[in-house]
Structure 1
Amino acid sequence: MNAARPSATLLTALLLPLTFACSGGEDPDDGGPNFTSVGGTMDGTASATDEVGESGDMDMGTTTAGTDTMGTDTMGTDTTAGTTTDSSDTDTTTTAGTTGGDCMTPSDQAGSSCGQDSGVYGNVAIGEAIAGLPLGVIADVDNGIGNGAEDWYRFDFGVTPQDPRPGAGTATISFALNDGGDYRFELYRDCGAQAYGQGLAADFGTNAPPLEEWTFNDLDPGPNEQLEYMEMVLWPTSVWVRVFRVTNDGSCGQYQLEVTRSP
């Protein structure tokens, strides 16, 4: 029996792939090996993944993993940390002693200049005193009349049939409270007059020292000199008191005046 011989057509079909494989490695212009991926078709035609190998480029270099937002995560450029401001850093809370706004006498309890009604406290009769005068605060050291660092008060020591001259009593103005000894005052018979003028004190005018206490006595000199005495010494029917700070600039120490008229 004779064995079957393969036909020429069959041999050609079997040898043809080998011929293509051998000839592919001999092309000097090829950019690289013609690798076929595992996903290639059985007939040698390249699939979509074969094109990756033929181009010589790796898609892994352009995958989202390479440009993942994790690389530019806002955690790396977070602007909240380091720019967050604590309210304690910009706290505007003020306390007495640190701000002029807290260091001032209430405007309805003393005048900021001579002549203001808020500083008028009325008449003090013989044997009386004015109680409950305000606690005053002036933060700045005296900067001159009319420049703001001052409080003004007016007190009257009226001469009436009940309180005649001579013997109209003793008028006294002093500090009931003077924190640190920081405050002094001056007296004026009227706005624009000289300090301690017209007999309010032995020294008067710009050279007169500021006071911590002032006393005016109406003594009876006797019947023979009574009229002359009354003409020479003008009774302080009304006085304006200017209070100011002389030391410890910027402090919030307080003061309080005391006014009496004894027999």
Structure 2
Amino acid sequence: MTNKCLVHQRSHEFICYQCNSLICSRCITGHNKDHPDHSDQCEHIDDIKHSLITLKLDDITDITITTTNNHINNDRTDNNNNNLYNSINFHSQINNKLKSLWGSLRSSTSRYQRLSTTENDIKQHFEQLHQYLIIEEHKLQRDIINDKHTITNQIDNNINHLKYLLNIINVFNKLNSNNSNNNDNSSCDDQSDIEDATSLYSTTTIMESITTSSSLQSFINHNNQTLFNEHNFKYNNYFNIDELLKQNSSDSTSLLLDIIHKYNNQFQ
């Protein structure tokens, strides 16, 4: 770009910020006539130098726009702020632009901080709501959990009742059987094929078996090698039927009554 006017061969002394043109002292009059709306956008180099000499960046603060900003919503866009600053009569366009940029930066920062504050408020609100819901969930679940615990205890207790009663029935059947020894050997042989897994005796497994059983007999048959296996003393240790039969073979009636009496003492 040449430093002189191509028409008058004079040095440029003016700049038009509107059309970004460099203009000599002879062309400025014609430029203003052709573009009357540019007249307030043209500055002489001497005015620019003076404004730069007298420029104090410390003077560019929010105070310069306080009066006008009182009538402006804080959430307006940066473009609105730029238009506001440009409408104020400063020493030069450079001063004006500096004030505009600083005001825009301050406005954007302030708006960003307000948005961050709102974001944190929302986050804290839902964190508190989440904690409240967790507490309410635990409150509602507490009675359910307690009831389920009571039910599992009741099931375990009833299963123990049932085991004892079935043992009484087994004693009675053996007392009236002539082939008790053969039956005992057969039961022992079957037990060797059963895996002694703790899960088979869990309350959950028992409830599943109860659900799928159509009758008490089918439930007993389904668990005859685990819950109701008379030879499994680890999980069915109320008494040893074989030992009782050996000790009381001569008095079966007393044995049966004694077992029933012990049952009543334990479960009633």
Query: Which of structures 1 and 2 has the larger relative contact order (alpha carbons within 8 angstroms, sep 6+)?
Result: 1
TM (normalized to structure 1)? 0.29
In terms of fraction of residues, the more strand-rich structure is 1
Select the structure of larger CA radius of gyration. 1
Select the structure that is richer in helix. Answer: 2
User: What TM-score do you get using the length of structure 2 for normalisation?
Assistant: 0.28
